């Protein structure tokens, strides 16, 4: 049996997440049962939303101390007791933060041979699919609409904003630093980018949206949501995708003022979604994303880290805003 | 020229509304111009939402000191310079709080002769139409759904809850006193009623919704919204109709915790609406409401006050929760 290194949750954070909230544990790799495969993890991705499970208020059951940290990864099948898979196949699934995982064949999906795990976990994975369905299905942007994306240099945001541009929208990105703002406008084609840390942010937001906001793709909640609420056009849509401003704490703040009052006065729809509800349409989305990425219309950003040991700090960096695009840890 | 008594806004309230924020003014009735009619107000209705205009954060332009208080009424045409109307006709429109108003013929609608102004202003007016379209169109309840209505003994709430019962839903009303709760269950057919002033309200809300909440018809915002958010079923709908908990102040509170996080985890749609957007479907709604009210399936509550002098105190009583159903002042 090969040795299996696992990154576990050492303690549930009471304040901001630190690398010391995780601990490495080593043991023998498990053996696959009937209908299962043994997977060797090649890469995992970390998303800000995973922080919510460590608060106990997310859609997934709250995490507990001592558990292996959950997460999506790309893996190579080492041994298979399921007819659909053979040793050497590439697969994607919830490997968790560990070298080896035993997964039910029903819970994994095949990955085309030769696909870079970073592409599979980013543009073709949860991030790209979330951006695609959240923007197009929940946000329903029309050509000429003004679309605002928060955490716009992040894993989902940078893709959502570029898809909005592809649909003929005027796109404003909100990010946390001048460097990220420059990336959005100079490299990714956003029309405008604003830093929410700028003391003049509220005024800049108003000036950047002279025609109001038709779709606000919200990855952050908090102050940016508060600013967007005040600029929503009649019948505007707020796509509730993430709440990164409130993840890295045990006590999320109240929502901004103006909910529900401003939703009524501008007849705004504010809607939460989870990408898993769109599973039967993933193929359609991946076809589009592969095509856009293939001919350079969609640029996919990746922040890479090396080794399982690096995963806790990668998560801390992500929450501190030190990464752009999809955060990938190669094992 | 007849004398016109007008109830004006003496000052914008900084805290809770008082009758002294209004002042009576007397002058000659105006004369109708071309395409206009002179109306003698018979009754006006007061809604909690009108308090928002006195905060300057509503959909209508903020009210200013010295203006006649705005509001909907039923009136008798005294003199007409418009071909569609003749002296003696009953009409409905924004008469304001005054004996006489000159209104554009395009801004009023005819009322069937003999109709009680309280029916026209309640079930067939803004309150009934708001309940009808908010519940059925925005809330989209299915038979067997659990529907919660806040301010359930109020002008819109008591109608929304009864329509939900007519659609085969399990209906829970939230109100502000044991007497109102008894009214809801004993007279109006609600399945359960809860007082939000009860110290055990949160627990009672949980117990009353063992199958979660599919539609929350929100007239209040605030604490009741906070409780409902935690009980929403996957793909539930929150109909944002009013924010009565936040009207009677110059500084509305932040929204409850859990927005947008809980909207995401349960994929909830939270949508504001204004009844005016449904103007081309009023006839359909009124047909249904007349039928339901006619055969006793829908009971329409009215709190009546006598005389223009009583209007300010009626408004204060309404905001203090001392009225039920549609508040009507007969002039």
Q: How many CB atoms lie within 10 A of CB A220?
A: 26
Q: To 5 degrees, how large is the angle CA B235–CA B279–CA B137?
A: 15
pLDDT for A252 equals 74
Q: What is the pLDDT of residues A112-168, one digit of tens each?
A: 999 999 999 999 999 999 999 999 999 999 999 999 999 999 999 999 999 999 999
A257 closest CB neighbour out of B218, B255, B268 = B255
Nearest to A101 by CA among A64, A74, A138: A74
Count of beta carbons in the 10 Å neighbourhood of residue B145? 22
Minimum mean pLDDT among A56-70, A261-275, B221-235: which range?
A: A56-70
Q: Tell me the average pLDDT across A306-326.
A: 96
pLDDT of residue B38: 97
pLDDT at res. A28? 95
Q: Of B252, B257, B263, which is closest to A272 when you measure between CB atoms? A: B263
pLDDT bucket at B57, cuts 50 / 70 / 90? low
Under the banding of pLDDT at 50, 70 and 90, the label for residue B2 is confident
Whole-number average pLDDT of chain A: 94
Do the chains contact at A255 and B252, CB–CB below 8 Å?
no
Does B255 contact A253 at a Cβ distance shorter than 8 Å?
Answer: no
pLDDT recorded at residue B60: 56
CA distance linking residue B271 with residue A213, whole number of Å: 16
CA atoms within 13 A on the CB side of A294: 8
The arithmetic mean of pLDDT across residues B297-325, rounded, is: 96
pLDDT at position A58 over 60: no
> So what's the pLDDT on residue A255?
83
pLDDT at B58 over 60: no
Q: What count of CB pairs under 8 Å joins A to B?
A: 130
Using DSSP bridges, classify how beta strands B170-175 and B146-150 pair: parallel, antiparallel or unpaired.
parallel
> Cβ contacts of residue A211 below 8 Å, gap of 6+?
A146, A170, A233
Cβ separation B260–A270 shorter than 8 A: yes
| pLDDT at residue number A279 | 94
Identify the CA nearest to B219 among candidates B210, B228, B211.
B228
Between B63 and B316, the more confident residue is B316
* Alpha carbon of A197: minimum distance to chain B alpha carbons (Å): 21
- Is the bond leading into B260 cis (omega within 30 degrees of zero)? yes
Q: What is the pLDDT of residues B155-211, one digit of tens each?
A: 999 999 999 999 999 999 999 999 999 999 999 999 999 999 999 999 999 999 999
Note the pTM of the prediction, 2 decimals.
Answer: 0.91
- Per DSSP, the residues of B207-267 read HH-TT-EEEEEESS-HHHHHHHHTTEEEEEEEEE---GGGTSSSSPPPBPTTTTHHHHHTT
Q: Between chains, do A274 and B267 touch, taking CB under 8 Å as contact?
A: yes
Q: What is the ipTM of this complex?
A: 0.89
Q: How far B298 CA sits from the closest chain A CA (Å)?
A: 26
């Amino acid at each position: 049996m090969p040795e299996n290194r696992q990154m576990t949750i050492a303690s549930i954070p009471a304040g901001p997440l630190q690398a010391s909230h995780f601990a490495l544990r080593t043991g023998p790799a498990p053996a696959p049962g009937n209908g299962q495969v043994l997977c060797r993890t090649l890469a995992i991705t970390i998303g800000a939303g995973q922080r919510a499970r460590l608060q106990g208020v997310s859609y997934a059951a709250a995490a507990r101390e001592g558990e292996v940290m959950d997460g999506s990864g790309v893996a190579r099948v080492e041994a298979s007791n399921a007819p659909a898979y053979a040793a050497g196949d590439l697969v994607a699934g919830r490997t968790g933060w560990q070298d080896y995982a035993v997964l039910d064949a029903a819970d994994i999906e095949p990955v085309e041979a030769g696909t870079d795990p970073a592409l599979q976990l980013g543009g073709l994975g949860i991030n790209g699919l979330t951006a695609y369905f959240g923007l197009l299905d929940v946000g329903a942007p029309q050509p000429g609409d003004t679309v605002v994306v928060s955490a716009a240099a992040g894993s989902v945001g940078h893709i959502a904003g570029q898809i909005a541009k592809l649909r003929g929208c005027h796109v404003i990105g909100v990010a946390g630093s001048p460097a990220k703002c420059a990336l959005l406008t100079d490299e990714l084609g956003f029309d405008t980018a604003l830093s929410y840390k700028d003391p003049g942010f509220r005024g800049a937001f108003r000036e950047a949206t002279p025609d109001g906001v038709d779709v606000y793709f919200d990855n952050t909640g908090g102050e940016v949501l508060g600013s967007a609420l005040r600029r929503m056009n009649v019948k505007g849509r707020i796509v509730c995708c993430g709440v990164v401003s409130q993840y890295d704490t045990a006590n999320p703040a109240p929502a901004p003022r103006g909910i529900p009052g401003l939703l009524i006065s501008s007849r705004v729809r504010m809607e939460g979604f989870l990408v898993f509800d769109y599973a039967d349409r993933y193929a359609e989305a991946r076809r589009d994303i592969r095509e856009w990425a293939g001919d350079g219309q969609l640029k996919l950003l990746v922040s890479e880290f090396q080794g399982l040991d690096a995963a806790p700090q990668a998560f801390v960096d992500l929450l501190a805003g030190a990464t752009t695009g999809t955060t990938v840890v190669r094992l």
